[in-house]
Amino acid sequence: MTQLFDIKQPVVPVANSDSVFPVHRIYCVARNYEAHAKEMGLQEREPPFFFCKPADAIVTGGEQIPYPGCTENLHHEVELVVALKQGGSDIAAAAAKDCIYGYAVGLDLTRRDLQALSKDKGRPWDTAKAFDKSAPISAIHPMEATGEISSGSISLNANGELRQQGDIQDMIWSVSEVIAELSRYFELQAGDLIFTGTPSGVGPLVSGDVVEATVEGVDTLHLTIGD
* pLDDT tens digits, one per residue of 181-207: 999 999 999 999 999 999 999 999 999
The confidence score (pLDDT) of residue 40 equals 60
CA angle 75, 81, 85 (to 5 degrees): 150
pLDDT in tens, 33-89: 987 566 666 666 678 889 999 999 999 978 899 999 999 999 999 999 999 999 999
Q: What are phi and psi for residue 95, nearest 5 degrees? A: -100, -5
Rounded to 5 degrees, φ, ψ at 43 are -110, -20
The CATH number of the domain where 191 resides is what? 3.90.850.10
In a domain, 187, yes or no: yes
Give which of 37, 36, 113 is closest to 75, Cα–Cα.
113
Model pLDDT, residue 34: 81
| Phi, psi for 189 (deg, rounded to 5) | -140, 160
Q: Is residue 137 part of a domain?
A: no
Alpha helices by DSSP H, listed for the chain, are 34-39, 112-121, 126-129, 143-146, 175-185
Q: Is 193 part of a structural domain of the chain?
A: yes
> Does residue 145 sit within a domain?
no
The β-bridge relationship of strands 219-225 and 135-137 is unpaired
User: 81: Cβ–Cβ under 8 A, 6 or more apart, which residues?
Assistant: 103, 104, 105, 106, 137, 140, 193, 194, 195, 196
Residue 96 lies in a domain: yes
Q: What is the number of domains present in the chain?
A: 1
* pLDDT value for 63: 86
Q: Would you say residue 67 lies in a domain?
A: yes
Q: How confident is the model at residue 31 (pLDDT cuts 50, 70, 90)?
A: confident
* The pLDDT value given to residue 32: 93
Amino acid sitting at position 9: Q
* Predicted local distance difference test score (pLDDT) of residue 146: 98
Taking residues 127-155, report their average pLDDT: 98
Give the max Cα distance, the chain. Answer: 54
Q: What is the average per-residue pLDDT within 159-171? A: 96
pLDDT of residue 47: 82
Structural domain of residue 29, as residue ranges? 10-80+90-100+181-200
Is residue 185 situated within a structural domain? yes
Residue 35 within a domain: yes
Identify the three-state secondary structure at position 173.
coil
CA distance 55 to 175: 20
- What does the alpha-carbon distance between residue 42 and residue 117 come to, in Å, rounded to a whole number? 18
Contact residues for 3 (Cβ-Cβ < 8 A; gap 6+): none
Q: pTM for this one?
A: 0.95
